[in-house]
Copies of this chain bind each other. A is one copy, B any other.
Amino acid sequence: MMNMTAQMMDSSMAMKSMSGLDMAAMQDLIECCSACEQACTVCADDMMAMGMTGMSKCMSMCLDCADMTHTMMRMMLRPSGYDMTVMMAQMDACMKMCMACADECMMHAEMSEECKMCAEACRQCAAACERMMSAMKTMMPLE
């Protein structure tokens, strides 16, 4: 069963002019970005509340990662504007951000359950970016 966003994307005008695209990979990336943004936002807030030292880089990277996955999600949700060069570059940046944030969060995984869950969400999002990058190479507007 599809969720509402997938249904809307599926029946949208702009999507109908595309061919060869992998809707499952798109939907997966949208959901992973959304989950990653939420995880990073809660994780940063929890680190603030814990007030431990040495976590500034991790908090700041979580905030960056939340903003970047949010922008990645928004771009995926706007098929009218797809530009392959831009999308590939953005997915590359998003994947690198998620991997770096996962690494940083894993350093605090023993002290913080939030960091551990956040790292997992980041990894899943990085993997979704990678799959979409592979899929997008075969995804071109008909014209």
Binding site for B on A (CB under 8 A): 4-5, 7-9, 11-14, 30, 34-35, 38-39, 41-46, 48-51, 53-57, 59-61, 63-64, 66-68, 70-71, 73-75, 77-81, 83, 85-86, 89-90, 92-93, 96-97, 100, 113-114, 117-118, 120-121
B-chain residues with CB within 8 Å of residue A5 when the two chains form the complex: 35, 38-39, 42
B-chain residues with CB within 8 Å of residue A63 when the two chains form the complex: 44-45, 63, 74, 78, 81
Assembly stoichiometry (copies): 4
Pick from B38, B66, B77: contact of A42, CB under 8 Å: B77
Write the chain B residue with the least CB distance to A85.
B96
CB contact under 8 A between A49 and B14, given known A8-B43, A75-B64: yes
B-chain residues with CB within 8 Å of residue A49 when the two chains form the complex: 12-14, 56, 79-80
B-chain residues with CB within 8 Å of residue A55 when the two chains form the complex: 48, 51
How far does the Cβ of A62 sit from chain B's closest Cβ, in whole Å? 8
20 contacts between A and B (CB under 8 A): A4-B38, A4-B121, A5-B35, A5-B42, A8-B46, A8-B118, A11-B113, A12-B42, A12-B45, A13-B50, A34-B34, A44-B63, A45-B56, A45-B77, A48-B48, A48-B56, A56-B81, A63-B81, A68-B90, A90-B97
